[in-house]
Amino acid sequence: MAERSRLAVLGAGHLGPVIARLAIKAGYPVTIAASGDPEDIALITELMIPGVQPRWAADAVADADIVVLAIPLHRFPDLDPGLLSGKLVIDAMNYWPASDGVVQAFEDGGSSEIVSRRLAGSAVVKALNHIGYHELEDRARPAGAPDRGAVGIAGDDPVAVAATAALADRIGYHPVRLGSLRAGRALQPGGPVFGVVLTRPEFERAVRVEAMGEEAARDEAAREELRSLS
């Protein structure tokens, strides 16, 4: 097997351990960190994620090629952007006002675009955020399975997008590239593919229909503006 990138998963709650387990099964060396002492998660990770190494977050990141952010979005400001500089960062976080509080910047746009602006030295890709943690594990399928689900991959750096697509494929999903980080808004809560596992054709259709809706809305706004000028 070709040498796999080293993965650090930040977040040892619901989502992080599932991503770590799937990645270990796919042959990636994986470390995991919560916000504090790795001793605190050593026993549980040994039981739940055989093969993973619990680390301090800074150490896990320092040794990784790919860092997966599986922490609540309101905890994201705790992370030092300098630590993540030069890394491929997979943003699996979502904005949940009920737990994150209402943050106007997130209400108005794409959360990963904001994450990416803060992590200016990293290549940020939005992925693995739109499927619930239970399903992410249960619905993973090898290539060729008829009911294999799709995972959206949104980013502006083609190399980072390709590496994330390879990861998604190896953990059991069809990677579907969305073209840009901005296009990753379709993967957010309230978007057309959020919270459901769709096959690739279903996924592509849902994203296309949503984009057509946006285009129609933009056309209507432009027509409205013209009418107001005449």
Residue whose CB is less far from ligand NAP, 14 or 117:
14
79 contributes a contact to ligand NAP by CB under 6 A: yes
Rounded Cα–Cα distance for residues 56 and 114 (Å): 25
Binding mask 100-139 toward ligand NAP (x if CB under 6 A, else -) reads -----------------------------x--xx------
Query: Can you state the angle between helices 39-48 and 15-25, rounded to 10 degrees?
Result: 50
Q: Shortest Cβ contact with ligand NAP: which residue?
A: 13
Torsion of CA 33, 35, 38, 42, to 10 degrees: -70
Tell how far CA 177 is from the center of its chain.
13
Task: Point out which span in 32-40, 45-53, 142-150, 178-186 binds ligand NAP (CB under 6 A).
Answer: 32-40
Task: Point out which span in 10-18, 145-153, 174-182, 200-208 binds ligand NAP (CB under 6 A).
Answer: 10-18
The two beta strands, 150-155 and 123-126, are antiparallel
96 contributes a contact to ligand NAP by CB under 6 A: yes
Residue whose CB is less far from ligand NAP, 45 or 161:
45
Partners of residue 177 on adjacent β-strands: 153
Q: Which residues within the stretch 199-218 sit at the binding site for ligand NAP (CB under 6 A)?
A: none
What token pair was written down for 229?
């000028």
89 contributes a contact to ligand NAP by CB under 6 A: no
Residue whose CB is less far from ligand NAP, 13 or 213:
13
Q: Which residues touch 143 (CB under 8 Å, ≥6 apart)?
A: 169
74 contributes a contact to ligand NAP by CB under 6 A: no
Task: Point out which span in 14-22, 115-123, 144-152, 219-227 binds ligand NAP (CB under 6 A).
Answer: 14-22
Q: What residues line the site for ligand NAP (CB under 6 A)?
A: 10-16, 33-36, 57, 70-73, 75, 78-79, 92-94, 96, 129, 132-133
